[in-house]
Structure 1
């Protein structure tokens, strides 16, 4: 699929996702495609990640596993793309947009973060801790109001990058195969790309590939968050300056960009020390001069998220107009 053909699919996918999201009724009956990808990754991990072999061999089998994941998911997406394009215009574009929307997380991200805000209002801190535990890995029992709010906002910013901006970016460049391959690599990173004893070597290729695929989208997402903040009544240049200054402070080469932009847009400090089950992370703050986060900032972050999604749609709509 050419770039010219992919842009209408991008616009359709963004609209479908904003309107439909991930309907629970459907995915309770049939496994979500990402679940199937996860099952493939788990099977390869169980069969090929032999802890009795050398570290070099485990790294090599991890590379082979990633190549297998990319090949299977890419070929499947290519075949689906070819089948969808058998429909006459504009139904081919609409069909591909609907399929692509399954892998984009605008509405579901908004809903998950909004549940934390609603939990604060309806059930106080204990309910908010339960809600935030659904979207972050840190220990919720160790979080006060500011900690829960900070976790929810950081998840909002980071997942805007890898759940919205990056999938759409690769969809625009390489069509449905590009989108699905990105989601497969991103899922592999989340499952086997961490630094545990079992996955340090086997998941090395998945983690490095995910970093590479997110490099441009993460920086683009930071700019979109800054624009979303400006749409919500904030300043534009200050978040961009903070992003370029503080993004490098994050341990991830990519997550710091949208998080730093979100921190400056809200005027708060994000990042910093975090407690996970069994260990603690002592990271510096992003926008360290900002105030402490409170629960009201979650709703403000959600407004910025909406503005950033509108800005992203506007970028691709502008490209569509220029290509006509």
Structure 2
């Protein structure tokens, strides 16, 4: 089997465990550095125009993918045409593994997601609504002042569901498919969508390309997340029924399957009226026959998210190794 497949598998596991162990640093996170750079590019390019927005997306996301490809190439130590020495081969494998581990840790956000959700859940359980409202903006863009305890609990569960796909599973899918460039490219696109992909007057046109690209790259991770939530949840039959019936009614093509699967798996009702800064949205209800979300469901959602994330790691690593074994056999057969 080619060393890049082995290096990816080892590096992805190490990076995943690193995220589980320490989460995101409060300062100096690589994604934050990318956000500052993307903001600087935006200040140079911004016009109320889709073409300028597409250029912004191409520069930021394309540049990130290119940087990842150059780093991966440097780690592999280009072949000289002579048989590789064992020491050189092991050195290259170690470098690729370390680079993949660092990239995986940098792009994953599952531990921080669960940590922030639990902070809000603890505050709500203690009836400290003000503390919960202070913490909510770190997790999602809802207007906390417009939400009561039950509505905040629902917002947290919905955010945990959606970000399980965005912050963990989607990155693992693209990492398995494209290695370090896939990992970094997915996080770049997802970050750009969070920065400019919303429907505000400033970004309605400029952010269009980032939002649409995020829909495309998020598609496979969202479907895998939904499928694993069905399998890993306490009620697979109910999760499948709600996901199949309600996923398509959500305005987001990727959040819909994930939130519907979580709603069914947890036996709760998601969706409905949502309050953002300056606007109110009325979304279809997911799992209409289920009970409303309770504060205790925040912890249940976090645990489901962790199970889904671990399964996603296993599935994507196994897929990468299986592909490597299959292609190795093909190449040997062609000799």
Fold in common (TM above 0.5) = yes
In 2, are the aligned partners of 1:104 and 1:163 still within 8 Å (CA)?
yes
Q: What CA distance in whole angstroms lies between the structure 1 residues aligned with 2:269 and 2:141?
A: 20
TM-score, structure 2 normalization: 0.86
Alignment of 1:89-238 (within 5 A): 89-122=93-126, 124-229=128-233, 234-238=234-238
Q: Secondary structure at the match of 1:269?
A: strand
Give ranges in structure 2 of 5+ residues lacking alignment: 78-90, 326-335
1:54 corresponds in structure 2 to none
2:288 corresponds in structure 1 to 288
User: Which moves more between the two structures, 305-314 or 109-118?
Assistant: 305-314
Q: What CA distance in whole angstroms lies between the structure 2 residues aligned with 1:241 and 1:3?
A: 37
2:80 corresponds in structure 1 to none
Change beyond 3 A, Cα 1:3–1:211: farther
Q: Secondary structure at the match of 1:299?
A: helix
Give the number of the structure whose alpha-carbon radius of gyration is greater: 2
TM-score, structure 1 normalization: 0.89
- Aligned residue pair count: 309
Verify: 1:60 aligned to 2:66, yes or no. Answer: no
Q: Secondary structure at the match of 2:280?
A: strand
2:81 corresponds in structure 1 to none
For residues 37-89 of structure 1, the C-alpha deviation after alignment (integer angstroms, 9 at most, x for no partner) is 212322232222234xxxxxx11111111111123212222222234445443
2:243 corresponds in structure 1 to 243
Q: Secondary structure at the match of 1:186?
A: helix
User: Which moves more between the two structures, 120-129 or 212-221?
Assistant: 120-129
> By how many angstroms is 1:12 displaced?
2.5
Q: What CA distance in whole angstroms lies between the structure 1 residues aligned with 2:143 and 2:307?
A: 30
> By how many angstroms is 1:123 displaced?
5.2
Q: What CA distance in whole angstroms lies between the structure 2 residues aligned with 1:141 and 1:209?
A: 32
In 2, are the aligned partners of 1:138 and 1:276 still within 8 Å (CA)?
yes
User: Which moves more between the two structures, 80-89 or 34-43?
Assistant: 80-89
Q: Secondary structure at the match of 1:62?
A: helix
1:80 corresponds in structure 2 to 71
Q: Secondary structure at the match of 1:133?
A: helix
In 2, are the aligned partners of 1:84 and 1:96 still within 8 Å (CA)?
no
Verify: 1:23 aligned to 2:47, yes or no. Answer: no
In 2, are the aligned partners of 1:157 and 1:258 still within 8 Å (CA)?
yes
CA RMSD of aligned residues (A): 2.0
Q: What CA distance in whole angstroms lies between the structure 2 residues aligned with 1:2 and 1:206?
A: 30
In 2, are the aligned partners of 1:225 and 1:308 still within 8 Å (CA)?
yes
User: Which moves more between the two structures, 203-212 or 299-308?
Assistant: 299-308
In 2, are the aligned partners of 1:268 and 1:293 still within 8 Å (CA)?
yes
Give ranges in structure 1 of 5+ residues lacking alignment: 52-57
